[in-house]
Amino acid sequence: MNYLNTLFFQRCMTCKHKQMQPITSPLCVTCQKNLPWLNPNHCTQCATPLLDPKTKLCGNCIASPPHFDQTIALFSYEHPINLLIHDFKFCNRWRLATILGKWMHETLVSQWHTLKNPPSHLIAAPMHNDKLKKRGYNQALLLAKSMAKASGSLDVLLPCKKLSNNPPQSSLNRRQRKKASPHIIVIHPKQVKNKNLLLIDDVITTGSTLNSLAKSLKSAGANSVSVCCLSRTCHSK
Ligand SMILES: [Zn+2]
Ligand SMILES: [Zn+2]
């Protein structure tokens, strides 16, 4: 039994069937095949699904372009990805970062040719210290480290410190999100100056948190900021 075999569970996380193959994924082959991969027809800038295959940008990005240049998202935030992310974040199943980061890296490689500014460095969405103490780990940083390891060439930077401890966007409805105070993030400019950055997070909802982070990174001198998220919510609350 190799190292990966020890990482996951005897039973598929979704259908609960006992896995007969060596366990390198938390899901059985069938469930993995049926994952809710994001429809390829989505906004290149924010990954919102689009109805018209001829369009490249959604109405929001045309009317008010976000500060990040591009978004790569793997999955629609629905079953069983929501379950997987919930367990990864809240049930101490941090080892899932290995397979989730590997999937994110594979998707990044497959879309590398579409990136206007291919990234040289990864930055995880920062977590406030209070939350970090409570959870014990920043899931976005684990994903970034896993992606970096899979790539063998990308580096993870830690230039950001989050000073505000706002509730996550995904827990708020549309009205609450509009009223929420902005995240306060401190950046060390020396680390990001002239670099092409890829922001890593687990879920993109409105994109406002990543947008304010991208704005701060560009103000600090970053050459470009793109986003890579494990999943995207496709229906607003
Ligand atoms: Zn299954
Ligand atoms: Zn968009």
Domain holding 16, by residue range, is: 1-34
Residue 237 in any domain: the answer is no
In the chain, alpha helices (H): 29-33, 59-63, 81-90, 97-110, 129-135, 139-151, 174-179, 189-192, 208-219
Phi-psi category of residue 179: left, alpha or beta, with phi > 0 → left and psi -120 to 50 → alpha: alpha
pLDDT at 222 over 90: yes
Domain identity same for 60 and 19: no
Query: What separation in Å is there between the alpha carbon of 44 and the centre of ligand 2?
Result: 7
Q: Considering every ligand atom, which ligand is closest to the CA of 232? A: 2
Within this chain, do residues 90 and 151 fall inside the same structural domain, yes or no?
yes
Same domain for 15 and 43? no
Q: Residues 6 or more apart from 215 whose CB is under 8 A from it?
A: 67
Q: Find the 60 Cα to ligand 2 centroid distance in Å.
A: 6
Whole-prediction pTM value? 0.87
Residue 228 alpha carbon to ligand 2 centre in Å? 14
| Cis bond before residue 80 (omega within 30° of 0) | yes
Task: Identify whether residues 11 and 44 lie together within a single domain.
Answer: no
pLDDT, tens only, 92-149: 889 999 999 999 999 999 999 999 999 999 999 999 888 899 999 999 999 999 999 9
How is residue 224 written in tokens? 């470009």
Q: Are residues 11 and 98 in the same domain?
A: no
pLDDT at 1 over 80: no
Number of domains in the chain: 2
